[in-house]
Amino acid sequence: MENGGENTVNIKYCSLEEGSLKEIEDLVTESFAKDENTLKLCRSCEGGQTEDHRPWVKKIITSHDWSVSRLAVDAATGTVAGVCLCDMSTLDQPTRALEPMAQTDSEACRLTAAFLHQLEGDYNPFKALGVDKVLCLNMVGVDKRYRRQGISLELRRQCLELARQQGCQAVVNCATSPFTRKALVKLGFERVKFLPFTQSVLAGVEKVDLSGCGPDDGGALMVLRL
Ligand SMILES: CC(C)(COP(=O)(O)OP(=O)(O)OC[C@H]1O[C@@H](n2cnc3c(N)ncnc32)[C@H](O)[C@@H]1OP(=O)(O)O)[C@@H](O)C(=O)NCCC(=O)NCCS
């Protein structure tokens, strides 16, 4: 597929098979596990430091469906610049891609998984949208050196296109970053639900410091019909 358009660096978008698994693991650890807002809030909990996340990160890369996931690589240097991990879900075969997050030794990650679970609540996209196959756009991470060049937006666009080709009729995303929410609106997503961190399972957990969180800090359940 073609480049995103406005990138200053020449980025090649490709399948995860075309990248090195170790580099993808480094990227998810250094971008998502380090900077994602919920994991950041849980940093003081057991297993909350960046490197503590590596074991579940390793598992989560392969628990996703690579046929609807996408990688961004710096065409000049071959550096893995970004990744978007997605999975498909049907009524008969619900996604299990995020299970490694709930089953890890890292308390910080288990708390994050619990927050995402609470955000999803009893929302059933099959029932709510009347569809039978959904793309779960679970994890986007872009290397710090490559941010603000439209890479995450293009990765998502390409995953949506792959999902459409495979018969998905909708996309679901839990967005914990205000930047992601802004980007998803650009792609046509609508907000179904919002859960502030201060009203979630994180509130009352001693090592989670929510003092810097306002009512707009939290996670949004966002959906798009394809
Ligand atoms: C969030 C993240 C994936 C964004 O990646 P990115 O490639 O820099 O994002 P893009 O350049 O595609 O930005 C798309 C849009 O998001 C918004 N955005 C992204 N980063 C932003 C920032 N630092 N400040 C303000 N807006 C931002 C903007 O609307 C941007 O469009 P614009 O540049 O035309 O205004 C990246 O910062 C990251 O890896 N963060 C850590 C992991 C994480 O939080 N993942 C998302 C969890 S929901």
Q: Determine, yes or no, domain membership for 1.
A: no
* In a domain? residue 86: yes
For residue 221, is it within any domain?
yes
Closest atom of ligand 1 to CA, residue 36: 44
Tell me which residue of 191, 69, 89 sits closest to 134, measured CA to CA: 89
In a domain, 3, yes or no: no
Residue 2 lies in a domain: no
Which pLDDT tens digit goes with each residue over 169-178?
A: 999 999 999 9
Q: Render pLDDT for 39-49 as a digit per residue (tens, 0 to 9).
A: 999 999 999 99
Q: Which of left, alpha, beta for 172 (phi over 0: left; psi -120 to 50: alpha)? A: beta
| 61's tokens | 């890369």
Using 50, 70 and 90 to split pLDDT, how confident is the model at 204?
confident
Report pLDDT for 120. 95
Summary mean pLDDT of the chain: 95
pLDDT of residue 2: 43
179 Cβ below 6 A of ligand 1: yes
Task: Evaluate: CB of 29 within 6 angstroms of ligand 1.
Answer: no
Residue 117 lies in a domain: yes
Angle between helix 151-165 and 178-186 (nearest 10)? 50
Bridge partners (DSSP) listed for residue 113? none
Percent of the chain with pLDDT over 90: 95
pLDDT at 127: 96
Six token digits for residue 94: 């619900």
Separation of alpha carbons 198 and 164, rounded Å: 36
Q: Is residue 63 within a helix (H) or strand (E), and if so which, with residue range?
A: helix 54-63
Number of independent structural domains in the chain: 1
Query: By residue range, what is the domain housing residue 150?
Result: 11-225
* Mean pLDDT to the nearest integer, 127-155: 96
Q: Is residue 4 part of a domain?
A: no
Q: Where are the beta strands (DSSP E) in the chain?
A: 11-14, 70-74, 80-90, 133-142, 170-175, 190-196, 218-225
| CB-ligand 1 contact for 185 (6 Å cutoff) | no
Q: Is 140 in the pocket of ligand 1 (CB under 6 A)?
A: yes
pLDDT in tens, 80-113: 999 999 999 999 999 999 999 999 999 999 999 9
Domain assignment of residue 188, yes or no: yes
pLDDT at 144: 96
Minimal CA–CA distance to 75: which of 14, 130, 132, 27?
14
Q: What is the mean pLDDT of residues 125-141?
A: 97
Any idea what the CATH number is for the domain that residue 55 is in? 3.40.630.30
